[in-house]
Structure 1
Amino acid sequence: MSVLKKVNKKIKADNQTGFGANAASYGGRFINKNGTANVRKEGIGFIESISWYHTMLNIPRWKFMTIIFIFYLLVNFLFASIYCLIGVEHLNGISADNFIEKFGQAFFFSAQTFTTVGYGHISPTGFLASFVASVEALFGLLSFAIATGLFYGRFSKPKAHIKFSENAIVAPFQEGKALMFRIAPYKNTNLTDAEAKVTLGMKVVENGIEVNRFFSLDLEYDRINALTLSWTLVHPITEDSPLFAFTKNDFQTQKGEVIIYLKAFDEMYSNTVAIRSSYIFKEIVYGAKFIQMFENNDNSKTLLHLDRLNSYTEVVL
């Protein structure tokens, strides 16, 4: 990261961000666009470093369903192989002429046992086959209990259904200019008491040493009563702003990051939801103005055009 020297030394830095002051720790950005910390943890075993519950709750839906399906197939394949090793003659009702058919019927018997369906067409005989079937039935009950808990956890997990504009902009504001970005709820949720905090992170030189410094950016409004339409967060770039001396060229050539923390109360969850994101300087458009997202229609309703979230026009500053 190149050194930024345009920050007023009288502006107080925020030392409570959790990112540290070591300039060598910067990995391209502090916060990813999806809100996760841009951190990779090493020095510990992979199994120990993973919270499987959090992982299963946070992975995309298609990955979650794929894992459940593959787990189901593998378990039944394993138990079908055990039944074949014991001998399919210990499974009453199997009628097959070759190994493939025997394995296929053992597989479907395993699926019936694992899911505790038990159609009764095939039944185990002998101690060993009966013991394996009872173990599989218990394993199936426990597996479905875990899967049900994960399904419910994913379905009921409080989540802030809020989208950020792809770019932040520097736009005319009052007699000067301001840093702006826009957010909007995109689900049929009711969010109240929305509150935002914005932090600027960049490298500065102190006593000849390059260090990371973070500065709180004051907002025109950092809290609103209800988040029903879009909300444009505005940081006036005044003499008290660390961005005061920045030009268009600075945003294009220097490296820095604007980090946003947002929380709101979701009436449906009856809980506080939180989300965060960031904009590196290259994602800040200098000299632009957002296009309004909402308008009235003929049915006395307000239309919120979510496809305009990142729409802006260029202006001269």
Structure 2
Amino acid sequence: MCGSLHQRLQDYLSERKCRRTRLVTKDGHCNIEYGNIKYSSHLSFLADFWTTAVEIRWRFVLLFFIASFTLSWFIFGLIWFWIARNNMDLSWQERDEEHTPCVYNVVGLTTAFLFSLETQTTIGYGGRAITPHCAGAVAVIIIQSLIGAIINCFMCGVILAKISLPKKRAKTIHFCDMAVISPKNDALCLSIRVANLRKSLMIGSQIYGKLLRTRNTPDGETIIMDQVNIEFAMDAGKDNLFFVCPLTLYHIIDKGSPFFEMAVDTLHKQEFELVVFLDGTAESTSSACQVRTSFIPQEIMWGYNFQPIISRSKDGKYRVDFSNFHKVVPVATAHCAYCFHNIKGHHHFSKFGNDNPGFEVIEISDPLSVTKM
């Protein structure tokens, strides 16, 4: 019992350390903070107020939404109260029988606030109405109507922009939890799997990666977060992917790859982070979006390959079984990339040219366990 609790504690601390040291989380958020920013730089966020309003959290958007309307109603309510007071319209002020008010039935602060609200929201119950005898009141009602229209347009634009942000489309694109290293097409490859959960395509999709690590130069300089390009491709190329079903993309581990000097027993001892990017344009909204994820050495499995998830029923429909999306199977793989390329007979594997060598027409008995394409 104590041993089990100790192991769980070690796993929790290890997972927390990995989460803390990541630059990019599995769901694509960047784990970085900025310090010692000059005060003048903060004013730049106010100058670009539209982007700031779109990027802030929903709780602040709702707060600004309520505050902007409520404050404008109250401020103009005070103005209408001041106009009524100057015109002797209030209930406690003495006036003659022939007195003509600026606004009918505005006799106190509460009724002035209600008239301000009715004016800006164009409710118009009919109980309170402006008269043409006060030029100042006519000017105020014009100004309030214009300001109310501006507030309406701005807040509606912010809410619509936040709802249609491209990063919301990225929520329906999933990467596999683990990357794998295995032989493919007479080469040793690092493979990842990505799926589009919507039927609408991502137009012009392309995928690439960055390997982030700390490197020491011959001059003794330490480069934090040094970036190395990692190229991913399919058999049909690396650009303009036909992203209609889950894809398995691979990076060839050759002499120019940073993974060439790693081996099965040294991979998990390395300190790096593989950040993978998928860029594309949503077919339904024509908005460009980017999906990100990352893999640390503990999330790269040497000597494994993904299970096939695409099949075809006898009626000709293609189906995707997402229950196998993250599952892998062991395959015979060389101990290291150098062994794969230079030591003949050190590795034993069967050559195959696709991710689903057993692809055939099969009968699917449970249609609920798969997703129709």
1:293–1:203 CA distance, 2 compared to 1 (3 A)? same
Structure 2 residue 154 is matched with structure 1 residue 114: no
Q: Which residue of 2 aligns with 1:165?
A: 175
Q: Which residue of 1 aligns with 2:222?
A: 210
TM-score normalised by length of structure 1 = 0.69
Deviates more, 1:118-127 or 1:140-149: 118-127
- Find the aligned partners of 2:314 and 2:118 in 1 and give their Cα distance: 57
TM-aligned CA deviation for residue 139 of structure 1: 0.3
- Find the aligned partners of 2:60 and 2:313 in 1 and give their Cα distance: 40
CA contact (8 A) 2:174 2:196 kept: no
- Find the aligned partners of 1:270 and 1:220 in 2 and give their Cα distance: 24
- Find the aligned partners of 2:267 and 2:71 in 1 and give their Cα distance: 53
TM-aligned CA deviation for residue 227 of structure 1: 0.7
Aligned 1:60-209 pairs, distance under 5 A: 64-65=61-62, 67-84=64-81, 86=83, 87=85, 89=90, 91-94=103-106, 102-103=109-110, 105-124=111-130, 126-151=134-159, 153-154=161-162, 161=170, 163-165=173-175, 167-174=177-184, 177-207=188-218, 208-209=220-221
TM-aligned CA deviation for residue 281 of structure 1: 1.5
Q: Which residue of 1 aligns with 2:371?
A: none
1:206–1:306 CA distance, 2 compared to 1 (3 A)? same
TM-aligned CA deviation for residue 277 of structure 1: 1.6
1:58–1:45 CA distance, 2 compared to 1 (3 A)? closer
TM-aligned CA deviation for residue 52 of structure 1: 2.5
1:214–1:64 CA distance, 2 compared to 1 (3 A)? same
Aligned 1:165-314 pairs, distance under 5 A: 165=175, 167-174=177-184, 177-207=188-218, 208-212=220-224, 213-221=226-234, 222-247=238-263, 252-270=268-286, 273-281=288-296, 284-287=299-302, 289-296=305-312, 300-304=316-320, 309=325, 311-313=326-328
Q: Which residue of 1 aligns with 2:355?
A: none
CA contact (8 A) 2:69 2:151 kept: no
Number of aligned residues: 283
SS state at 1:201 partner: strand
SS state at 2:242 partner: strand
TM-aligned CA deviation for residue 129 of structure 1: 4.6
Deviations 1:188-238 (A, max 9, x none): 422233212222121122113222432222324223542111122211333
Q: Which residue of 2 aligns with 1:11?
A: none
1:69–1:262 CA distance, 2 compared to 1 (3 A)? same
Q: Which residue of 2 aligns with 1:22?
A: none
AA at the equivalent of 2:151 = S
AA at the equivalent of 1:230 = P
- Find the aligned partners of 1:250 and 1:69 in 2 and give their Cα distance: 57
Identity of matched residues, %: 17
CA contact (8 A) 2:189 2:252 kept: yes
CA contact (8 A) 2:275 2:294 kept: yes
Deviations 1:17-76 (A, max 9, x none): xxxxxxxxxx95555543658463722342323532223334566654554234223322
Q: Which residue of 1 aligns with 2:28?
A: 34
- Find the aligned partners of 1:200 and 1:37 in 2 and give their Cα distance: 16
SS state at 1:122 partner: coil
Deviations 1:232-266 (A, max 9, x none): 22113334321123356755454322223322344
Give 5+ residue unaligned stretches, structure 1: 1-26
- Find the aligned partners of 2:49 and 2:211 in 1 and give their Cα distance: 33
- Find the aligned partners of 1:280 and 1:60 in 2 and give their Cα distance: 28
AA at the equivalent of 2:121 = T
Q: Which residue of 1 aligns with 2:45?
A: 49
- Find the aligned partners of 1:66 and 1:305 in 2 and give their Cα distance: 43
SS state at 1:227 partner: coil
Between 1 and 2, higher relative CO (CA 8 Å, sep ≥ 6) is seen in 1
Deviates more, 1:30-39 or 1:108-117: 30-39
TM-score normalised by length of structure 2 = 0.61
Q: Which has the larger radius of gyration?
A: 2
Give 5+ residue unaligned stretches, structure 2: 1-19, 91-101, 334-373
